[in-house]
């Protein structure tokens, strides 16, 4: 009766296998060696796989089947590695971009590469909220943002004391 087996062993195991087979009572032993090629690693398809990458692709209206360039992947991984680009922060930036893109004269990134490279800036803009902008030729009303620190009477006392200290300093410097 003939048996045929196939197995993988480390280099130099042929003699030991022959000895074991003889001890088991095998009469005619034929061992052939074949070099097996390891399956080649498949090339990456560069498709977004994580939820964060899918969110970025969706923000830029890119289909999930569209592969990313190596530079985009590198910039995306760097942004994730910094800890800034998470699903939560991506949702915040996405909401900001939705509202900002509707405005005239908006400044939203148009490529994934620059978006990922400058994700920290985009996140800062999103966290700051909608920026206050003026129409062409108009001044912003900044007086509404001034918060008085003291009562007017206290402010006058501070101003008088500052003037007195400045006058004393000038006298010392002159003389």
User: How far apart are the C-alpha atoms of 30 and 21, rounded to whole Å?
Assistant: 10
Angstrom CA distances, 89 to 4, 58, 108, 110, 136, stand at 60, 15, 16, 18, 32
Instruction: Kindly tell me the burial class for residue 134, based on how many C-beta atoms sit within 10 Å of its own C-beta (0-12, 13-18, 19 or more).
Output: exposed
Write out the chain's pLDDT in tens, 175 residues. Answer: 777 777 777 777 888 888 888 888 888 888 877 776 666 665 667 888 889 999 999 999 998 888 999 999 999 999 999 998 999 999 999 999 988 888 888 888 889 999 999 999 999 888 886 555 555 555 555 555 555 666 777 788 888 899 999 999 999 988 7
What pTM does this model have? 0.50
The answer to whether residues 109 and 118 touch, using CB atoms and an 8 Å cutoff, is yes
User: How far apart are the C-alpha atoms of 174 and 156, rounded to whole Å?
Assistant: 27
Angstrom CA distances, 26 to 13, 16, 19, 29, 33, stand at 17, 14, 10, 7, 19
Token pair for 95:
């909401």
User: How far apart are the C-alpha atoms of 37 and 26, rounded to whole Å?
Assistant: 30
């Amino acid at each position: 009766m003939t048996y045929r087996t196939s197995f993988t062993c480390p280099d130099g195991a042929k003699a030991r296998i022959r000895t074991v087979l003889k001890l088991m009572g095998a009469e005619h032993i034929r061992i052939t060696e074949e070099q097996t090629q390891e399956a080649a690693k498949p090339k990456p398809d560069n498709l977004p796989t994580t939820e964060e990458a899918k969110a970025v692709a969706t923000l830029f209206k890119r289909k999930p089947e569209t592969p990313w360039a190596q530079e985009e992947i590198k910039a995306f991984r760097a942004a994730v590695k910094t800890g800034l680009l998470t699903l939560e922060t991506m949702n915040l930036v996405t909401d900001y971009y939705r509202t900002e893109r509707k405005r005239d004269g908006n400044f939203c990134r148009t490529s994934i590469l620059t978006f990922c490279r400058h994700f920290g800036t985009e996140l800062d803009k999103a966290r700051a909220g909608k920026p206050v902008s003026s129409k062409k030729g108009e001044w912003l009303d900044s007086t509404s943002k001034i918060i008085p620190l003291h009562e007017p009477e206290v402010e006058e006392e501070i101003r008088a004391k500052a003037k007195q200290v400045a006058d004393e300093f000038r006298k010392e410097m002159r003389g």
